[in-house]
Structure 1
């Protein structure tokens, strides 16, 4: 039986999500990869227990995480039920709906039919009465945004979610749905966008909307699928994600286009006494609206390395200027 470390809250940093009452650990664990049917349960437990022992209280899932879709929630639910049940009130557990999950016209996107059914399925898989945050995983171009907002608000009134979030919404879409949530009184507090040194799209309007509306952000892909680590500093290893012909998110072309930039960033990181990955995470967290960054891990040591980023979150003005020069 797992017993959490008594010192688990001593070193982690917790940051408030916008103007809400919720605080998240600066580093959160995402279960997008490495927690499906093909992954060893012993390794999954080691990562999850190790995360909690380091003060990582937030575990981020979605209905389609795996593979196969749904298996990450099932595995997490079993681990939670068997070993972490006594710590449920110390944990923030999130899920999402919006990407393809089951066949037919109701198995994806943002209709009321999909969102309510998907949340119910996620709760069953994780053996939970509620999630702390439930997200609309992506905007639906064919469903009125009012319907999506009202469905998410209903989940709160049904006691199935404490807070509501959105992911992958533009600045304009965020502003539009925020207005509806305000009218409904929905506890909408958080946006989950992709954000890293190589992909700064949220700075083009979204961060302004978040600040104006008192919302927080939790960013995914802060290491740009591994490009902002030492993995590709000297080329593409044969066993890397970029070398796989079927990799949907990373290609040799992407790595080649960024390698000189990444090498220059690594020099700045070394001057700061950090690894490139540590600096990339710290840089993400210096964005005022970002409450937490989501990291994945295939082994506990990777997660431990990520947490080391918190040892140095302060950037001197000249360091930020040097980074900006490289990124331009």
Structure 2
């Protein structure tokens, strides 16, 4: 484990430090890939100073597969490193049939976390997130359930993902009153998906909540993957959280336009995009997926150049506006 490979950042106003680049197990830790290839990625992550591994009950496919795979590798290789790593998971989405198989009720959340712990082979996770808002369950019940998870030792910290600024403010206040601070929010954020800047990031700053962003490469759009068409084995071709209709001429034109800026910085477009997301001190960490150890190593190299000049930032903003790709 190489803690010197990348910087660590404080998560909000907590005592927890996270690596600038963390490993998300959303796409590449389900069935269809060998255990050894996934094991290689996890070991490479540790070599690159990644101590933070982000999962959810639904990650796979099938549901639960990513946690099961991580658990198998943890039992084999990582058990002695438990105090050196941060493991997170989430619950909210449908996991089994019937009225208790989804949502943010106390009934579902406690059951799905216990199932996650069993798959992971852990006594507790470091962070448990509410994966989605649930308008049918009172926020008071959701907050009380998170508080209960901490007090019963199932998780050390709690967070939310994909919550609105208003709901984030409300649940943070409820948790603060219970003595269990809201540690972190996990929203989508990238150079072409900037919706959190206007309202959510100011809330997180005011409340002292960390920010771990997902899809900083916009599901692979902010790479050179689609510059010459849509490869048959690509995420867009397979329709996995990205469709052919997402690979628009405007997006491709934007990536081509910013390629020269990245080259002048000595980076790939992907590396520059990760560095761009980390330019804001309110962002604690960015989550990256990896289909290979080499890809992960390339992404982590983004931390070698995190600074931007005002001219570079202005040029990136101008390119995004001219290409009309902002959302």
TM bin (shorter chain): over 0.9
Gapped runs of 5+ residues in structure 2?
322-327
Whether the 8 Å CA contact 2:172–2:181 is kept in 1: the answer is no
| CA displacement at 1:40 relative to structure 2 | 0.4
Q: Does 1:303 align with 2:324?
A: no
Alignment partner, residue 205 of structure 2: 211
Corresponding residue SS for 2:63: coil
Using the alignment, how far apart are the partners of 2:244 and 2:59 within structure 1? 25
Using the alignment, how far apart are the partners of 1:190 and 1:168 within structure 2? 11
220, 228, 234: which one aligns with 1:234: 228
Q: Kindly report which structure 2 residues correspond to 1:91-130, keeping only aligned pairs within 5 A, or say none.
A: 91-130=85-124
135, 138, 143: which one aligns with 1:149: 143
Alignment partner, residue 28 of structure 1: 22
Alignment partner, residue 289 of structure 1: 282
Q: Does 1:38 align with 2:32?
A: yes
Using the alignment, how far apart are the partners of 1:125 and 1:248 within structure 2? 24
Using the alignment, how far apart are the partners of 1:318 and 1:309 within structure 2? 19
Corresponding residue SS for 2:126: strand
Corresponding residue SS for 1:202: coil
Alignment partner, residue 187 of structure 2: 193
Q: Does 1:250 align with 2:268?
A: no
Alignment partner, residue 12 of structure 1: 6
Using the alignment, how far apart are the partners of 1:67 and 1:321 within structure 2? 40
263, 279, 292: which one aligns with 2:256: 263
| CA displacement at 1:204 relative to structure 2 | 2.1
| CA displacement at 1:100 relative to structure 2 | 1.3
Alignment partner, residue 172 of structure 2: 178
Using the alignment, how far apart are the partners of 1:103 and 1:287 within structure 2? 41
Using the alignment, how far apart are the partners of 1:212 and 1:187 within structure 2? 13
Q: Deviations over 1:131-181 (max 9, x none)?
A: 000000001011111111110110000011000010000111111111111
Q: Does 1:158 align with 2:152?
A: yes
TM-score normalized by the length of structure 2:
0.96
Q: What do you get for the CA RMSD once the two structures are aligned?
A: 1.0
| CA displacement at 1:66 relative to structure 2 | 1.0
| CA displacement at 1:248 relative to structure 2 | 4.7
Using the alignment, how far apart are the partners of 1:187 and 1:124 within structure 2? 26
Q: Does 1:313 align with 2:310?
A: no
Using the alignment, how far apart are the partners of 2:246 and 2:29 within structure 1? 26
Q: Does 1:327 align with 2:313?
A: no
Q: Deviations over 1:42-70 (max 9, x none)?
A: 00100001101111000111111111111
Q: Deviations over 1:103-129 (max 9, x none)?
A: 111111111111111111111111111
Using the alignment, how far apart are the partners of 1:248 and 1:89 within structure 2? 34
TM-score normalized by the length of structure 1:
0.95
Using the alignment, how far apart are the partners of 1:132 and 1:106 within structure 2? 25
Residues 238, 74 of structure 1: alpha-carbon distance in 2 compared, 3 angstrom cutoff: closer
Q: How many residues align?
A: 320
62, 69, 72: which one aligns with 1:78: 72
Gapped runs of 5+ residues in structure 1?
none
